[in-house]
Structure formats: structure tokens, C-alpha cells
Structure 1
């Protein structure tokens, strides 16, 4: 009985040893460094085994992979330093008797990558693998994969050199037009197929174009003229999807530039309907108007004191535009198409009509041409209205804000306390209406008030809390019998700063908008665009913590010390 127990224990220990002992120590998955420009020869003998190689790319560029083997039962897998798969390929190699050479070029961002050579047969697999690398010099400041991390693009400057890689689907650039005007976008692409999109600050698409048939030997040149309103825009170069796995035709180098020609007009935006119609006085100087790609209509208000005939005259540089006149009840009096205008030879149009006294609305409306991204239905024009026997009408002056820096002060109070804008009444005019906007362009207001000259000061409590990180509000004044002034941006200080400890503890890939933090993946997900847009509007500065652990100022693209944020 004792002998039987000892034998059983021996068998049990033997089985445990067999289970935990490695079957082939020499071929365990140990990561080896594969130097650029080198080739290694190896073999895999154990079932389901693999070899792993580390490759470091100092810059973005093209990595050429070359493999030689007599066995076609191999999978080549490539992942980046975060474990994201970049490539999975089953090369068509040898037939077991003779070796075959396989190679593949792939465009990659700078970084560390891991090749895994996996065999899926029980036989021994012999192979050699080598890598060569050609670096590419670019102007990209990564990450720049969406509006939050968009790279500033200087207008009327030298082209930016960009690079779309197998593991980089998008480059986004940001530019701002201080006034309406025409932009000239030019792209020279060495990519066989790539998408170029332009969106406004609200995410509305202005155009989407496919730029095809580019190559390193014969780059493709693409240009587009676009008339735009003042505002901030985002130009994105996006990888074109391909049905061919690991196809290199949708990656590569490009350069892009945007030239800008401002157009000076008399438009007071918004003037897109009767509620916001701009006055058009009788027998006054012509008003210069501008129809943009993202502005379909300009409406003008005509007041006729007594019955009589008026004559409307338009001189248009637009190929096709509609000229409409309606009464105050919305009844259309006429609708005319003004055609064949151009910058070189503007088209002159006029029409006379007898009207009863009252209020009328003349509109210049964009003509739908049915051609995507067509610039023929946008541009500049002038319009004037004359009438005999009518009382003189003077132009309505524009309100002006006080020049004193002490006229308006902002109290960005601690969380839980209302934020207050204080006005020194003696620097304004009695009855002035003060409006506070959340940004420079939208119609979103966060407070308003009226000046009472009998009081030394007025206070306006904002309807939304100001950003804890500080920022700007935009103020206008509308005086009696005058139109609203232009917006004045006024900076306010932050409520309280994050400590350096707080900022250092935030993980890489964090986006900080004012006092709110997000992951890059969450921030660039279109499903969260409204939340992110609101955060940008209400927030202060934007910072991104890159995967090296450094905080990047989204506006300048420069590294910042947490103590200065």
C-alpha cells in the first residue's frame, strides 16, 4: 500500500512538471529589435508560436517590409505602441519547396511599432524579414484629427505639408476670416484618393470633394474658389476608404494652402429675413451686398411714406441671383432672375413698380444651380432704390461703444455665485441697450440691459456661468434710432486654476476645454458634437495632453507648463 501511494505521487509530480515546463525555450515570444535598413533570418518550430520585432520610426514616412519564406502559412501582424492594429497580412509566399519574396510599402506616423510573425502550421517555418524606411518632412502638429485639436492654418502663406498615414485617418486645419470674402483652396496630392472637406464653426459642411489620381511621380493639383461669410472654418484632409485590405493608395503626402481676398460690404448680418432686414433708404447711395456659399439671402427693408413709383437697381457680379420684392404681409410683388453677371462684366438690372405707402422687403437670394460646390451663384452686388416725390430719408447711423477701457468690467465669481457684468452709465447714452453674446459670431446671448443715466452704474447678471478657466464675452450697444454696434471682445480672468498636481494626474489623451475634461476619442466622436460645441462656446482655453504626457496649447500648438495653464 505504501509503495502504491509513493508511485502515485511520483506520477502526479511528473505531470505537473510536464504541464508547467516550456516546450521550446529558445523560441518563446521575446521581443527583438529590428533596426531600420536591416534583415534578420529566423525560424519558428513550435506549434502556434510567434516571433515579435520592435521597430522605431523617428519621423513619419514610408516603411517597406520585405519577407522571404518557403512556407505560405504565415501571418504578418503590425501594431502600434498602444496595441492598435495597423496591418494584418497573409503573404502569398513559397509552396514548401522554393522560397518566394514578398514586399509591402506602408505609410506610418512616427512612433514605435511591433511586428508579429505567426505561423499556423505544425511544421517548422524558416523566413527572413527586413525593413527599409524613407522619412517624410511635414508641418503636421499631431494630434490634429478634429476641430478640438485642429492645427492653425495661416491665410495667404506658404503651403503646409501634410501626411495621411495608415494609422492616421485625418488632418484638420483651422482658419478664421475676419470679414466676408473669397478663399482660394489649393491642394497638391501624391495620394491616389483622398477627401477634402470644409466645415463651418457649427459643423455645417460647406463642401466635400474627392481628390483622385495623385501619385508620387505625378501629384494631382486641385483648386476651389469659395465665397464665405466672416467666421471660423475647419478644413479636413480625410483618408478615402478602400475595399482593398492594406492598400497603400489612400495614404501619402500632400500640401495645402488657402489664399483669402476680403470683400468689403455694407451687409449687417444677420439680414436673412424680414425680422432682421437691413434698412434700404430711398434715394440714398447703393448698398454693397455679398451672397456667400453659407449665406443664402440678404433682405432689405424699404419704407414708402406716400404712394408712388419706385425703381430698384441692382449691379451684380454673380452669374445667377434672384431679386424678390414682397409686402409686409409676405405677398410677393415680383421675382426676377438676374443672370450672367461676373467680376469682369457685372450685370445691370432694374425694375420699376407702383406701390401704396407702407413697408416692403427686397431680397437678394442665392439661385440654386444644382451643381455641388459651384461658385457661380455667389459674389458681390450693389442695390439702390429711387423714388420721385418722396420725403428725404437719411441713412440710419451705427451705434458705437465707449472707447474707455473702464466702461465695462466683468466679475467671474466663484462657482455657485452669479457672474456679473458692470457698466459705468455715464460713459454711455441714456436708453442704450447693451447685449452680451457668448461668442463673436453666433446669435446666442447671455445677458442684456438698458442704460439709465439717473444711476451711476448698471449690472447685468449672465444667464449662464462664465468659464472657470477665463475667456471672452462679446458686447454690443444699440442706441436709440441707431443700428447695433459691432461686437467688442472683452477678456475676463479665470475663477480658479487647476493645480499642477491635478493636471499631471490626468491621463494622456485628455482634452481640457475650460474646466471640463474629455478623452480625445470622446471629443472627436460626432455623436458628442453638440456637447463639445457647447463646451467650446462656454469654455476658455483648450489644451490637449499628448501621449508623451505633455500639455499642448490647441491655439498655438506649443507645449505649455501646467503651472501656466
Structure 2
């Protein structure tokens, strides 16, 4: 009896110092952070425990086995295996084997199964399950295209989660205009894949996330899209699971091209005389843009082009490439290039192109044309080029414009009629006996418009030199220039020319030969005539 009392006392002291773990009955609901002690016997070869997850998160399962071989399974409400089978071998009462397993799961009711090994291994085990919620903000279900979660562009970061029973997250993006979709992901997935799809479900691109090794992985990419519906697919199989945060932003291209312009038959016409910068855009579905250029004279064209990735060709549309360039910029760092080429008169196509399917985006371009006359330089170049493009004036030879040659009245009449786009259809014989046939239409049109008359009723003075004063009169009449509020400082301007000269001064057509001399009676040269017409056209 004494021995029995002593034994009870010792056992009580042991339990006080080393309390037994809290246990629950097997084959029941298993609360979190509570250890269940169960036993596999010949009569009871498996035990099942119900665990409920109210939200997505991670189960941490601690399994201690005191017998030689046990099997652990996690199954969902459809009895589908979640994760992998786990065998725990080599355990004994004196040397238990411990398994700690993390399983990423979606909300739901799960069953933890403990089984023997082919009914030949029996004994006790301890089992506990902890839960860590991930607080993801994605809208479930989003496992298919039809369930895809709509994304607000330039909104908040989305906190997503790939689990053992949800390998796919789909997001839907509506792009209302052409531009760049940028994807910024911070991942705690072991690895994973990100894919872009179009509205038909055809894959656009696929990239792999780097491996997560304790430090979040930052991964960025972009796609250049036309307006439309697109999908982002985040996927992870096997152990490639975990949390990721995703920000989807959009930058419009603000391109001014007129679509479609994907071949020479739909090419957008542009003027190489227009100095403005054109902005275009290429994407994975629109890898070529065509622009039609009408070069109306032999000369030079300077191409200014800037792009992150795109290149270009200048072609006659048949077989000859006159210029080409391959871009070598990078994301966020466009490369600027300038190329000046000789170009004969003709029709050409300027073709920006995406070098590879995933490298495209915004490009800018501008052009500058110049005539190929050896005597045209400096301040005369824009004016002479302008007249050549308007098909108003040619050179006196193939290589010379005749900048310093005096202008004949008949040639001045032809230039003026052309630039004013007067109707030359009345090419009947003029009343002026000295006007050659090539100028009949021009002279008649100027006379009808009350812009120019002859020096007499029968004499136009066709081969006479046009003076600067006479040109001032013609331009004032032709363009309806106002001279109001201007007084010229010139001492060589007679009253007949005064209002016309004042009008040219007011409209910045000329400043005179010197501060006090306009050169009223002096011949106007072909170069000066080009300057006058170039400047006065700006008043239209």
C-alpha cells in the first residue's frame, strides 16, 4: 500500500512539472494549434480530421510518428488530393520521426488523413495544424478566362495567391487606346509563369519568374497593345506557389498615325516639307507602319528617328531600299538617329517596323528635304526647296538654280500663277505680243485676277527684268496684304510703291537692302523671288 501511494505521488509530481499536451479525440474536427494524439491499429488503419479554412492561406502540418511507416494526405471537399502524398518512415517509440509540411490552400473544408503502411505498421502519432492567412485581394474564382478578374489600370496593387489546389489566376484588362501595358510583380512564389493572351485566347507572350529564396523577387515586363481586351495569366505548378503582388499600369501612346497603314496600299501620306514630329506606335499585332512620301524633286532627305526598339526602311515599294536603320535602344531609353540620304524625284514608302514581336512601342520621326543645287545654300535653301516641292520653279540647269540671276517678268508671272494656284486653262493667245506660248495661261490668269498687267496694251515686258518694286506691287495685290500702321524708313521708295513696300515690311516678307534703301528699282534675283514667295505664303 505504501508503495502504491508513493507511485501515485511521483506520478502527480511528474504531471505537474511536465503536463501532457492538450489532445482531442481522433476522427473529429481539429482546431488550429492543437495537438491530437492518435493511434493506428490493425482494426483502425486510418484516422481522419476535419480542418476548415475561412480564407486562403498556408497550413503548417506537424506530424510525429512513433511507428515504422505512416502515410499523410490532405484532401479537399471533393476528396481530391491537395499537394502530395507524404510517407514518414523509420519511426519508433524511442526515436519518433517528425514531418513538418506547409501547404498553400484556398478557403474550404479539408480532411487530414493518417494511414498505416499496407496494414503492417501500427502505432501512435501526434498531429497538429497551424494556419497563416495570406489576405489576398484577388476576386475568386478566377481560374479560367471566363472567370477572369477585371483589373483597373493604374489602380492599387493586387495581392494574389497561387496554392496547391488553385494553380491559375486570370485577370482581364480592357485597353481603350493604343499604348503600353506595364506589369510590376513582387513575388514570394518559389517560381511561376506569367502569360499574356489576346481576346481570342491566343498566347502573346510567356515569361518565368525567378526563384524565391527568402527575398521577394521583383519582376517587371511590358507589352505594347492596340485597343482591345487582354488577359494576364499567373500560373504555378508543383511547389511553385505562394504570394505575389501585382501592379498593372498603362501609358497611352498618343500616336497620331491614321490606321490602318500596314502596307503600301493603305500607307498614310505625309509631307517631307512639314517639319513637325510624327508619333507612331507598333505592337505585337501591328508590326509595320507605312507612310507615303512624294518627293517632287531630286535632292536630299534627312530622317530623324527615335525609338526604344523599332527600326525603319525607306523603299520605293518595289525592290530598292534607299535607307535602313535598326534600333538599339532599351526600355525607357529610346535611341535617336539621324540619316541624310540622296533621293531622286519619285514616290517612296517610309516603313517603321518592330524588330521582334516583343520589342515595339512608340517611335517618333521627322523629315527635312533639301534641293540638290550647288548654288543653293544657307538662307536660300528652305525657300528654293519649298518652291521645288510646290513644283513652282525648276533650276536653270540640273545642278544650278540660278540664285543670283535676275528674274524676267515672264518667269515671275509663271511662278506667281503657280503658287497662287490660278486657273491656267485660258491659254489662248494673249493681247501681249511679246509673251511666249509657255506663259500664255499664267499671264492671262494674272490679268483676270487683276494682279498683273502689261507695260502697254500690247507689250507685257516679258523679257524685261522684274524689279523689286514691281514685285512688291504684285505680292500686295495677290495676297491682299495690309500696310496699316507701318511707315518704311527707305529713301528710295516712290509714292507709287510705298503702300506695297509697307505691306511687305508689316508681313515680314523683306527688310530691304539696307536700313535706308529698299532697292525699289533694282532687279529682283531668282533667289530673292524665292525668299519673297516663301515668306509671303506664311501669311495665307
Normalising to structure 1: TM-score of the pair? 0.56
Distance (whole Å) between structure 2 residues aligned to residue 140 and residue 316 of structure 1: 39
How many pairs align? 347
Please say if residues 180 and 361 of structure 2, whose CA atoms lie closer than 8 Å, have aligned partners that are also in contact: no
Q: 1:464-495 CA distances to partner (integer Å, 9 max, x unpaired)?
A: xxxxxxxxxxxxxxxxxxxxxxxxxxxxxxxx
Alignment of 1:114-513 (within 5 A): 114-119=111-116, 120-215=118-213, 217-239=214-236, 241-242=237-238, 247=239, 250-284=240-274, 285-303=276-294, 308-309=298-299, 311=301, 313-318=303-308, 320-328=309-317, 330-339=318-327, 347-355=336-344, 357=346, 359-368=347-356, 378-384=361-367, 386=369, 388=385, 389-391=388-390
Distance (whole Å) between structure 2 residues aligned to residue 72 and residue 380 of structure 1: 69
How far has the Cα of 1:362 moved from its partner? 1.8
Distance (whole Å) between structure 2 residues aligned to residue 331 and residue 199 of structure 1: 36
How far has the Cα of 1:313 moved from its partner? 2.2
Change (3 A) 1:383 1:292: farther
Q: 1:254-285 CA distances to partner (integer Å, 9 max, x unpaired)?
A: 11102222221112333222243222245234
Q: 1:136-166 CA distances to partner (integer Å, 9 max, x unpaired)?
A: 2111211112322111122222211111111
Q: Which of 83, 91, 102 pairs up with 1:94?
A: 91
How far has the Cα of 1:47 moved from its partner? 5.9
Whose helix fraction is larger, Structure 1's or Structure 2's? 2
**4+ residue runs of structure 1 moved beyond 6 angstroms?**
342-345
From the CA coordinates, give the structure whose radius of gyration is larger. Answer: 2
How far has the Cα of 1:327 moved from its partner? 2.8
Please say if residues 307 and 327 of structure 2, whose CA atoms lie closer than 8 Å, have aligned partners that are also in contact: no
Structure 1 residue 81 corresponds to structure 2 residue 73: no
> RMSD of the alignment, in Å?
3.0
Distance (whole Å) between structure 2 residues aligned to residue 252 and residue 220 of structure 1: 12
- Specify the alignment match of 1:70 in structure 2: 66
Change (3 A) 1:364 1:238: same
Q: 1:214-237 CA distances to partner (integer Å, 9 max, x unpaired)?
A: 25x521112234443333222221
Show structure 1 runs of 5+ residues with no match: 1-29, 393-565
Distance (whole Å) between structure 1 residues aligned to residue 122 and residue 323 of structure 2: 82
Single out whichever of 342-351 and 290-299 deviates more from structure 2. 342-351
SS at match of 1:147: coil
Q: Which of 42, 46, 49 pairs up with 2:42?
A: 46
Please say if residues 255 and 362 of structure 2, whose CA atoms lie closer than 8 Å, have aligned partners that are also in contact: no
Single out whichever of 200-209 and 148-157 deviates more from structure 2. 200-209
Distance (whole Å) between structure 2 residues aligned to residue 345 and residue 165 of structure 1: 40
Show structure 2 runs of 5+ residues with no match: 1-25, 371-384, 392-540
Please say if residues 308 and 354 of structure 1, whose CA atoms lie closer than 8 Å, have aligned partners that are also in contact: yes
Normalising to structure 2: TM-score of the pair? 0.58
How far has the Cα of 1:80 moved from its partner? 0.9
Distance (whole Å) between structure 2 residues aligned to residue 172 and residue 307 of structure 1: 56
